[in-house]
Every structure is written in C-alpha cells, then in structure tokens.
Amino acid sequence: MLTKRIIPCLDIKNGRTVKGVNFVDLRDAGDPVELAAAYAEKGADELVFLDISATEEKRRTLAKLVLDVAEQLNIPFTVGGGICSVEDVDILLKNGADKVSINSSAVKNPDLINQLSEKFGSQCVVVAIDAKNIDGKWTVHLVGGKVPTELDLFEWAKEVESRGAGEILFTSMDHDGTKNGFANEALARLSEELNIPIIASGGAGNIQHFEDTFKEGKADAALAASVFHFKEIEISDLKNSLKNSGIPVRI
C-alpha cells in the first residue's frame, strides 16, 4: 500500500504566511522561508505554497519567494496562485517548484490542463478545487472562494482527470479553518470515482481528523495549515500516531 502523505500548506499574502477561517479573517502565521525549512526538517512529505491573492490581483506568483523557499527544501514542492500559462509554469519550475497547482485558470480555460500535462507530464499538474456544499450540491468556487460557479465538484473532478491532471487538491470551504474535521463523505466519493490521488484539505483540528480522512475519506494525502503553523500538532507526533493506527506513513 502506498504511504499516506502529510502536507503543510503555506498560504501566502504580501510575502507572509497567513491563515483564516472559511477563506476569510486572515491572520499572520510567520515567515514562509523559515516555516518551509522547519517543515522539511520535521518530516513533512511535501509542501504546498499558494499565493492566495495572485489571481484576485491579476498577477503572477511570486517567483523570487518560490526560489527562496525551494532552497530550503529536500521534499516535493507544489506552487499555486495566478498561474495562467505554460510560460508561468516554466518560470516556477525553474525557480524550484516540482509541481504546480491551478484552480481558477483551469475552470476558465480547461484546455490549460491538457497543455500543462502534455508539456510537463501529469505528475507535475495538481488541480485545486475549492467547493462549498449549497443545498446538498458541492459547488465549485473560484478566486480564493469568492466567485461561485455552476460547476459540480464531482463532474469537474472527472473532467480534470480526463484532461491529464495528476492529482486533485480538494478544499471544503465549509470545513476550512474550522478544525472540525475534513469533508470525508465527499472525499470518499472522489476517491471512489477517480483514479488519481486526492489530497484532503480544510478542517484539520486534531490527530484523529487525519486518521479519519485516511480511513473514512480514503484520501491519499492530507493538507493542513494552522495546526502545523501554530504548533498545535507536531508532524512527528502525528505520523507516529497514524502508524500505530495501522496507516502507512513515512517516518
């Protein structure tokens, strides 16, 4: 069985790591370069860097900051935010990213998924999907959760896979920052209906939540931010607990 991955996430705004609740009320969580170095040392399996205001501000991801973070890492590094073209990805990969995450740009131009997959390989392409449960339907949202669409989470996820995405990073907007657990029912359905890895995001509050999302949600990886940034959970403690519960992890 493949090992389950633990992935800290650096949400970046104005060059600083931030964290909010339900995508709003952001507070400072530290220097991204220092946090990246600490996570690599503490046993994180990967790191995700999301420039959360790049799309809204209509600019590219901060390439220099990506380079500074990448220099601290010896683990896979995914970068997202404001990516709209093959050229954008080329710049980020040259600055040390291993994978890229696209979200709003994939919805606006689905063919971008095909282009990136064909040029860089599907293993390089992560499609992030932010969705909210509205009247029983998981609806995809764009621009950091600010713009609702007509897209259904599961139909969009299937299209994303068919276009060449290598992974899906699903964030439940309802669970984000609440520390009440991941959206395991939706995650399990995604895992059952798709053949590519699903990264769970939104809702981690304690070690049990991670165990639940791997067992009940069938997630391949779990991403979290505040519980790691504010040292509410140490990655070594988390992994030891998961291992003791029979979940395969890299120690």
Annotated active-site residue in 130, 176, 212, 220 = 130
Between CA 9 and CA 6 the distance in angstroms is: 10
Beta strands in the chain (DSSP E): 5-13, 16-21, 24-30, 47-51, 77-80, 99-102, 125-134, 137-142, 147-152, 167-172, 198-201, 221-224
Distances (CA, A) of 146 to 82, 166, 195, 226: 15, 26, 29, 21
Is 31 catalytic? The answer is no
- Minimal CA–CA distance to 95: which of 53, 58, 126, 49? 49
- Minimal CA–CA distance to 7: which of 57, 51, 42, 55? 42
Is 176 catalytic? The answer is no
Q: Report, as residue numbers or ranges, the catalytic residues.
A: 11, 130
